[in-house]
Amino acid sequence: MNSRLLLLIAAMVLAMNTFAVSIETDRTWYLAGEAMKVRVTADDATIAYVEFCDTYSLAAGTILRLNKGTGEGLVELPANLHSGYYLLSVYTRNDANVSQQLVAVVNPLHKSEEDDIQWVEITQGKSYQTHQTRPLPVEGGEYLHPQHSSSLPQQGGVGGESGGLDGLDGSDGLELEGHIIKARVRNVYEGRTFKGSDILPSLSIIGKQIHYFEGKMVSDTMAVFHTFGIHGSLPLVLSATSSTGVSLPIEMISPFATLLPRELPHLVFHYNRNEVEARSLDMQRHQRIKGEAQPSILDYDDTVFGTKPYLTYNLDEYRQFHTIREVLLEYVSCVSTMRHNGLLQLIVRREFYNSSPSLVLIDGMPVLDAERLLKYDARRVHHINVYDGQYTFGNGVYNGILSFVTRSGQLTNYPTERNTQYLVYDFP
């Protein structure tokens, strides 16, 4: 086989991989705060991931259900985006290739130091944008060639049979992780090395509700979390414990490190003032409606998993004690203590004894050091919720949940557990 034929085959394979996932958008440019409609076509996939970023971080994203390889959905663009170019990326779980294109965003209401736009007003015609045609360097040594977005038909809704997340049956449940987070675990402790099968990683959102996820160890040092139902900039805690109850150091790895471009081209925006003003008014109405319809997931809600707790203690209704230990001794009769590998644990017990551990949380963060919790100032705690029965998170099974909710919902004067990582993360 001669070299020309080899080059031809390689080029055909590269072209097939490049166009395995394709993107179309409904506009050629967007105002910050608008909803961007995207149509994705992907071979042999049921779910596609859409991510929107600049050179700094992820700005927005969504997941789309694909029907016969095609799906549509909306990406809600934050109202505080700077003006300039952004990178729109689409990928699937089945294909490591990423399809990318540039999208122009204009923010006429707020100026920012990150703005990279030249305004050129025109009096007739439709607005359009131009950009440099040189390839963009992307982390990893590859290059992205700028493309203009294609227009989608304006008629028809989003979702239903063609895309969106409505109407999914249980068979698609494993695909609906919503967002993937990776973390690195240091699996060596006091000279002992733990295998991945002996490590339990967890991710929890800090607030007055319970949003707790257990990860999967894909190697002895790498954990992957499949989160869902979470959006916005939220505080979270990552933790990892060994089979012996030892807390191991863990830190997040950015899943977007290979997708963020090192630089983006300068945006020259030729605009029609009437069009920008009309779309700006529509965008502000959209933002008001969206803000009114979305309650904060950090607000207090005891109906975790769709069920009320077996017992709820509002500590305002009881005599004030100084420590949680005193409260548990005086009021919470279904909680007892036991030691496992020398570590104190709190166990939820009802009518029968079960040796399975209980999940103990304070403002959503798993409690690894029960001794410190027992010494915590009870006057800072507002609610204690006890959930009976068994609960499964990832590969872990728990006999009940004991949830402590502070008055602030933000771990007031309760430092994060040893070796855990606390950070604020932007969920798409």
Rounded to 10 degrees, what is the CA torsion of 229, 235, 238, 239?
Answer: -110
Q: Give the per-residue pLDDT at 294.
A: 58
E-assigned strand segments in 367-416: 381-393, 396-406
Q: Give the per-residue pLDDT at 360.
A: 94
Query: Which CA distances in Å does 144 have to 42, 101, 166, 260?
Result: 19, 8, 33, 11
Beta bridge partners of 45: none
Tokens of 174: 């494993």
Q: Give the per-residue pLDDT at 303.
A: 81
In whole angstroms, give the CA distance from residue 49 to residue 71. 11
Task: Check: CB of residue 71 under 8 Å from CB of residue 163.
Answer: yes
- Residue 379's SS3 state is helix
pLDDT tens-digit readout, 129-149: 555 544 444 443 343 444 333
- Residue 418's SS3 state is coil
Position 273: which residue type? R
Q: Give the per-residue pLDDT at 138.
A: 44
Please list the alpha-helical segments (H only) found in 236-351.
273-293, 324-330
Rounded to 10 degrees, what is the CA torsion of 289, 114, 251, 258?
Answer: 100
The dihedral of CA 382, 338, 358, 230: what is its sign?
Answer: positive
Enumerate residue ranges in the chain where pLDDT < 70. Answer: 1-20, 93-97, 123-178, 254-259, 290-295, 305, 350-355, 428
Q: Give the per-residue pLDDT at 289.
A: 74
Position 22: which residue type? S
Q: Give the per-residue pLDDT at 257.
A: 52
Q: Give the per-residue pLDDT at 26.
A: 93
- Residue 175's SS3 state is helix
Residue 319, Cβ density class (10 Å: 0-12 exposed, 13-18 middle, ≥19 buried): exposed
Q: Give the per-residue pLDDT at 11.
A: 38
Q: Give the per-residue pLDDT at 236.
A: 92
In whole angstroms, give the CA distance from residue 147 to residue 100. 8
Q: pTM for the complete prediction?
A: 0.61
Q: How many CB atoms lie within 10 A of CB 78?
A: 16
Query: Which CA distances in Å does 372 have to 209, 323, 368, 375?
Result: 22, 10, 9, 5
Q: Give the per-residue pLDDT at 319.
A: 86
Q: Please, which residues have CB within 8 angstroms of residue 185's CB and are 6 or more apart in sequence?
A: 199, 201, 217, 221, 222, 223, 240, 248, 249, 250
CA angle, 17 then 51 then 131, to 5°: 80
In whole angstroms, give the CA distance from residue 93 to residue 45. 8
Full set of structural domains in the chain with CATH? 3-167+258-293 (2.60.40.1930), 178-253 (no CATH), 304-408 (2.170.130.10)
Q: Give the per-residue pLDDT at 367.
A: 93
In whole angstroms, give the CA distance from residue 395 to residue 129. 50
In whole angstroms, give the CA distance from residue 358 to residue 405. 17
Beta-sheet pairing, 47-53 with 58-65: antiparallel
Tokens of 385: 């919720």
What DSSP element (H or E) covers 4?
A: helix 3-18
Q: Give the per-residue pLDDT at 293.
A: 58
